[in-house]
Amino acid sequence: MATLIDLLDARYAPIQTCMLQYLGVGEVVALQRTCKAFGALQERLMATSYNINLRLSHFFRDPREFRSLLGKCNAVIADEFARRFFSRLNEAEYELMIFVAKDMYAVLAEYLRGEGYTHEEGFFEFVREDSSGCGYIVYMENNPRDDTWAPLAQVLDSAYTTCCLNLITWNKAYSLFPYRIFMKQESHLLVEFDPDIAYHWRRLEHEGIKSKTIEWSQKEDSHPITCPRRVGDKYTWVINLDTQGIETPELPDEVLETATFQIRLWDKDHDTGRGPVMRYILDFRELRHPVLKYPYIVLREPSTVSPSAFRQKCKALEKRLDELTLFQLLLIHPACRPSEYDQLANDEVKANQLRGKFELPASWTFYDADVVEFLTDAWNDWEEGGGKKRA
């Protein structure tokens, strides 16, 4: 007589595939905890449900080529497609949201046109219809508040709820709140109350996810939500994707995985109103000094509390980057030196505001490797000192 272990074994692949589509993330985790024989389920899921090339094949003729370009453009896939990728929702996908920096927007747009997508000026939808009449939409998002923001900053800033905080890069998938989203099946509000959010909440309800404003017992139950976080930390669900046939981009994973942020209750220190309901806000700062090849996201804390040891180190880092920017400008011959040098020397502007404002000479020095090492060590030291427990 066949047991459940037999039916979920790869020897009965058709039966296994059929049964797995009815098991959610929580059920699969529970099975894996009951018996070692279920340990191979993850490997099977990686070949089927978590096969990113298969999931993207509805949108692109060559998913590997697209993913290589995604890495080259330092862009990320986020929002609904990314969430459904993690949950293995067994429904056809027709929409894809891509976040990309302004300087790479045209490159991806040209690729989409080559894939048969059409685009009307002034809109961010790229639309394609296949031979069977099915329509596919790729959204290319630029943050309207500041088009120099990195894609990850755009994802964090535009999230309606915690369920939006899932993203896919060229080689990895990250879910920042997997326990709340996929185990407890709940989301929490990150924006002001707005009737437009109803569409997002209806979609979550369709997926079996309950919507909340904040935790009902905020002081007792909110710590996993409101503690300081780092992308790829122990609370993050990371899936390493198959990278066979994918070109490795220049951008290292560490740029994304040093990103730190915090969700906390709205307070008057924040720059937008609370609205008629209580909500959380997602706080971070972006380091985008000219002496950095890439922007970095670091934890921002309210001015109403004493800065943590980690935040103090981040502030010191910003000052050093300001100074290094000034010195790099000083090394330029006076006849060629941009006017921003005088502004920075006279403390009229911060170096963080000068990215892209002047042309960098070939001799310009970047300090990304030093910043990655500094942020990694600062976070590890802070965690070892019990930083999250005191947050």
- Lowest pLDDT segment from 36-40, 155-159, 308-312: 36-40
pTM (two decimals):
0.89
Instruction: Flag whether pLDDT at 225 surpasses 50.
Output: yes
The candidate with the shortest Cα–Cα distance to 165, out of 190, 199, 136, 198, is 190
Work out the number of other CB atoms within 10 angstroms of the CB of residue 69: 20
> Which ranges of 258-365 would DSSP assign to H, the alpha helix?
309-330, 340-345
What is the structure's pLDDT at 17?
67
Q: How far apart are CA 173 and CA 238, in angstroms?
A: 6
| 83 and 163 Cβ atoms separated by less than 8 Å | yes
What is the structure's pLDDT at 391?
44
Give how far the C-alpha of residue 241 lies from the chain's centroid of Cα atoms, to the nearest Å. Answer: 16
The candidate with the shortest Cα–Cα distance to 51, out of 85, 74, 24, 102, is 85
The candidate with the shortest Cα–Cα distance to 282, out of 271, 293, 292, is 271
Instruction: Flag whether pLDDT at 203 surpasses 80.
Output: yes
Q: Average of pLDDT values for 290-295?
A: 96
